[in-house]
Amino acid sequence: MNLQTDYLGIRLKNPLVVSSCPLSENIATIKAMEQAGAAAIVMHSIFEEEIRCDDEFIDFYLHYGTNKFAESLTYFPNIDEPGSLLTKHLSHLQQAVAAVNIPVIGSLNAITLSGWMNYAVQMQDTGIRALELNLYHAATNMQSAAVIEKRYLDIVQELKNKLRIPLAVKLSPFFTSVGDIALKLANVAGVDGLVMFNRFYYPDFDIDNLEFEPSIQLSNSYEIRLPLKWISILYNKLPISIAASTGVDSCNDIVKYIMAGADVVMCASCLMRHGVSYLEDLLAGLENWLKGKNYSSVKEIRGLMSKEKVANSEELDRAQYMKALRGFKTGVHFD
């Protein structure tokens, strides 16, 4: 059975990639994921806000009291151990690269152009094979869609000019036209791949203490439907790689994503729920499914359920919408 696939110009032994999550914070766990069959690992994200806060903390104590006593200029804190947050993250990336034989992909979540440039270049020098940009900007200041999209494109274009390694963008589904921004990222900004989609975490309200409460729930199979739809639509429309992300909990979810047109399928929640060894079950399930349907490779099923290969694809969205609503009203379930 040939499970090989290509992602960002990198040949992978199978389409299963561990997405950015806390599991990659531990080198022993990273080794275990490789042993269980992961084809590549996207490291946990580093956030510009955390780096800035860490740098400001160090800067504060470097200059604390300098306006009071001349002698205080020699009161330097010990900042070499354990080092700044960015330094520790870069060191961790180097250790991960050295620890495994599969590709290690960095993940960066920044908020300013200078932040993207500075951190991305330093991460590249750790030996990672590619970089994933987690582009997310909440337009709470009422900026127009055009302004936000231009900012995204400018960031990616600038980074592409500075990096030697492939660049992927983890995209949000919250665009008026997902297809348009995907085409612009590929054809204008020159990104090497898209990850569909970014999964957001929203706060809840504590109505007694009048505070925000962080809330995290692991994804489930129902959540594959939105990325499944757009991957199916964009299959063969983009000259770049497409990674499916969100909702993977069984081998059936992997099959669906590949049939939609994904080059790789990323997972994290199911590993946090079932353990890293669950990768073995997912891969065994994928191989058994392919054998049971008389396929000899992953390539044979890629795009089989994409928009361009499904009959009456132009009517698909509207027809299924009406069918679902009518079925619910009458108490009849349509598979």
* C-beta pairs of 313-318 under 8 Å, 24+ apart in sequence: 317/229
Residue (of 106, 102, 109, 93) closest to 163 by Cα position: 106
Nearest Cα neighbor of 148 from 192, 197, 115, 181 is 181
pLDDT exceeds cutoff 50 at 63: no
Residue 331 lies in a domain: no
Q: How far apart are CA 204 and CA 225, in angstroms?
A: 24
CA distances to 62, 175, 228, 246 from 23, in Å: 34, 30, 25, 16
Q: How do residues 216-275 score in pLDDT, each as one tens digit?
A: 788 899 999 999 999 999 999 999 999 999 999 999 999 999 999 999 999 999 999 999
**Calpha distance 298→4 (Å, rounded):** 7
Q: Is residue 328 part of a domain?
A: no
Residue 175 has pLDDT above 60, yes or no: yes
**Residue 162, in any domain of the structure:** yes
* Dist CA 195 CA 270 (whole Å): 18
C-alpha–C-alpha distance, residues 54 and 43, integer Å = 20
Is residue 196 included in any domain, yes or no? yes
Does residue 235 lie in a domain region?
Answer: yes
Count of structural domains, the chain: 1
Residues 6+ positions from 98 with CB-CB distance below 8 Å: 127
- Any domain includes 323: no
What pLDDT score was predicted for residue 58?
Answer: 41
pLDDT band for 144, please (50, 70, 90 cuts).
confident
Residues spanned by the domain of 60 = 5-304
Residue 73 has pLDDT above 70, yes or no: no
Tokens of 270: 């199911």
* pLDDT for res 212: 85
Per the domain annotation, does 9 fall within a domain? yes
The tokens of 138 are what? 């909440």
Residue-wise pLDDT tens digits, 298-330? 999 999 999 988 876 665 566 566 666 666 655
For residue 181, tell me if it sits in a domain: yes
What CATH number did the domain enclosing 131 receive? 3.20.20.70
Q: DSSP state, 223?
A: G
> pLDDT tens digits, residue range 113-124?
666 788 899 999
pTM of the model: 0.86
